């Protein structure tokens, strides 16, 4: 029996559940996520952004964070491509291995949202609208064996390379022209074809930030980006009313900006680590209201689309869905005198959680780790202590709760 077999599309998406004769059908659901480059939350909140406000009114707006655990094993630079890959893979840079905009050696074993969606259901239609070509060819790794040979159904990107159509000038206004081009095409393509999963990336705001810092030019660029989002939002509303579809839009940014001038980013200051998420989805949960992170976007979108993340990948995802039911977040672990102490944030106290431990990280090489159960605990306890398995300085810990799973690492102390 196939674990997941695809039966029908359009009005309903049906799957045969693993090891069961039950067929479950869901309404077709579509998602678009938009990354607006380098917009700090404090500045965004002071601008007039009618499109983002309307989306937030339908669902919600929240500040969020990125950059991994500050000073810890998952600390990740607040740099653009690093930030996009948090969104795509639901993991921090210690896993996805993109540390800067060179994107030299992404670890594709931490699968991106397009690959997971396409693998779960090859009929899903995907699209990308972007200035940068690298977003498709390097981060998603389209057509690369190592990245699962994913092929996007529609790509409208790479315009930064087209200097004939968009001549480069110091003021970087050509990036605004490209964003116009990209957002108009995204809106018209979505209105006409309604792809299941799309990524829109708009860049100009960051270029203005680098050039002018926190300035009127930057405020203006944010308002323009809002209008570009508005185009896409209008297309979505049209599809929802005319095609009886249910859509999720998520708009976010890839990093904040430095506190001094706003011209820079890359460091670990609070302002650089602070981002924001807005979405039209109504079923926002405690995670959205408490302490969401950019890595939460990937599991949230897949949950909305009724796409199950494969178990071995889910165990590695650093994000928590911010829609639907969730149990736990923010797992912390420490080792003292051969005891391991776990602590977590309780989002929903019901039920029992099981704790698993592995002393290897073979997942990074595409292999499985041997996880052992070390016990069960009531979710509401919020903590658990157990004897550390001997002879290791490295541990991967997973807390499997009724509504979601979270993980953390214990790493050897740095060599002196």
- Letters for 75-104 (x = contact with Zn ion by CB under 5 A, - = none) are -----x------------------------
Q: Binding of Zn ion at residue 67 (CB under 5 A)?
A: no
> String of b and e for 110-134 (b: at least 16 CB within 10 Å)?
bbbbbbbbbbbbeebbbbbbbbbeb
Q: Binding of Zn ion at residue 254 (CB under 5 A)?
A: yes
CB of 265 to Zn ion, least distance (A): 7
- Letters for 19-48 (x = contact with Zn ion by CB under 5 A, - = none) are ------------------xx----------
Q: Binding of Zn ion at residue 369 (CB under 5 A)?
A: no
Q: Which two tokens stand for residue 263?
A: 């011209």
Cα(400)–Cα(174) distance, integer angstroms: 48
CB of 197 to Zn ion, least distance (A): 22
For tokens 């999963």, the residue is 197
Nearer to Zn ion, 254 or 286 (CB): 254
Of 121-129, 156-164, 203-211, 315-323, which part binds Zn ion (CB under 5 A)?
203-211
Of 103-111, 212-220, 246-254, 299-307, which part binds Zn ion (CB under 5 A)?
246-254
Nearer to Zn ion, 155 or 175 (CB): 175
Closest among 53, 112, 110, 115 to 276, alpha carbons compared: 53
In this structure, the number of other CB atoms found within 10 A of the CB of residue 233 comes to: 25
Cα(375)–Cα(354) distance, integer angstroms: 6
Nearer to Zn ion, 35 or 52 (CB): 35
- Residue 53 host element (H or E): helix 50-58
Q: How many residues bind Zn ion (CB under 5 A)?
A: 5
Q: Which residue is nearest to Zn ion (CB)?
A: 80
Q: How are the residues of the chain apportioned to helix, strand and coil, as percentages rounded to the nearest 5?
A: 35, 25, 40
CB of 254 to Zn ion, least distance (A): 4
95 near 110, Cβ under 8 Å?
A: yes
123 near 307, Cβ under 8 Å?
A: no
CB of 80 to Zn ion, least distance (A): 3
93 near 131, Cβ under 8 Å?
A: no
Q: Which residues bind Zn ion (CB under 5 A)?
A: 37-38, 80, 206, 254
């Amino acid at each position: 029996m196939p674990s997941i077999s695809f039966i029908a599309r359009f009005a309903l998406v049906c799957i045969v559940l693993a090891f069961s004769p039950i067929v479950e059908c869901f309404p077709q659901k579509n998602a678009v996520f938009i990354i607006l480059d380098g917009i700090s939350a404090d500045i965004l909140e002071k601008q007039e952004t009618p499109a983002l406000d309307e989306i937030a009114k339908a669902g919600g707006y929240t500040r969020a964070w990125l950059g991994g655990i500050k000073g810890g094993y998952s600390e990740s630079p607040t740099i653009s491509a690093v930030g996009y890959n948090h969104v795509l893979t639901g993991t921090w840079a210690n896993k996805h291995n993109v540390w800067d905009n060179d994107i030299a050696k992404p670890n594709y074993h931490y699968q991106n949202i397009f690959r997971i969606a396409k693998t779960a259901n090859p009929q899903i239609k995907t699209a990308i609208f972007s200035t940068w070509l690298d977003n498709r060819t390097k981060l998603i790794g389209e057509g690369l064996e190592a990245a699962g040979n994913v092929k996007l159904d529609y790509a409208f990107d790479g315009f930064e390379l087209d200097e004939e159509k968009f001549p480069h000038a110091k003021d970087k206004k050509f990036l605004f022209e490209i964003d116009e081009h990209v957002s108009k095409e995204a809106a018209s393509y979505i209105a006409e074809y309604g792809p299941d999963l799309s990524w829109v990336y708009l860049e100009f705001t960051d270029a203005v930030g680098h050039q002018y810092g926190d300035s009127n030019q930057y405020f203006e660029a944010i308002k323009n980006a809002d209008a570009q989002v508005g185009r896409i939002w209008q297309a979505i509303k049209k599809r929802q009313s005319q095609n009886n579809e249910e859509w999720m839009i998520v708009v976010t940014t890839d990093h904040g900006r430095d506190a001094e001038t706003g011209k820079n980013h890359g460091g670990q200051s609070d302002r650089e680590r602070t981002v924001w998420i807005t979405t039209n989805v109504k079923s926002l949960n405690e995670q959205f209201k408490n302490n969401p992170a950019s890595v939460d976007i990937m599991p949230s979108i897949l949950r909305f689309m009724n796409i199950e993340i494969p178990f071995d990948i889910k165990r590695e995802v650093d994000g928590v869905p911010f829609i639907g039911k969730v149990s736990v977040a923010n797992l912390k672990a420490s080792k003292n005198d051969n005891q391991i102490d776990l602590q977590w944030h309780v989002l929903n106290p019901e039920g029992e959680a099981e704790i698993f431990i592995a002393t290897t990280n073979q997942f990074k090489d595409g292999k499985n780790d041997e996880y052992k159960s070390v016990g069960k605990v009531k979710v509401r306890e919020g903590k658990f202590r157990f004897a550390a398995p001997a002879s290791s300085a490295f541990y991967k810990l997973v807390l499997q709760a009724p509504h979601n799973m979270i993980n953390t690492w214990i790493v050897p102390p740095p060599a002196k």
